[in-house]
Amino acid sequence: MAELPIAAVVRIAKKSGAERVGSDAASALVVRTEDYIANLVKEANRLAMHAGRKTLKEEDIELAVKAL
């Protein structure tokens, strides 16, 4: 079961230029988005732990984005 609401992902797709989004495309977007977020958090968490912290900070996310 997906954690992200499909409607929110469809709204983002439409704001980004998609005129219409099929249900199969919306589901695929949700899955890929959740995968990306999970990988981003894993990398950010690794960076935070390396810095001796348990709390993720914005800087961890920004560095993780560059690393991915």
Which residues, including other chains, have CB under 8 Å from residue 44's CB and lie 6 or more apart?
56, 60, 61, 63, 64
The pLDDT of residue 1: 72
| Per-residue pLDDT tens listing for the chain (68 residues) | 789 999 999 999 999 999 999 999 999 999 999 999 999 999 999 999 999 999 999 999 999 999 98
Q: Which domains does the chain have, with CATH numbers?
A: 6-67 (1.10.20.10)
The pLDDT of residue 2: 80
The pLDDT of residue 45: 98
DSSP state of 68: -
DSSP state string for 2-65: -SS-HHHHHHHHHHTT-S---HHHHHHHHHHHHHHHHHHHHHHHHHHHHTT-SS--HHHHHHHH
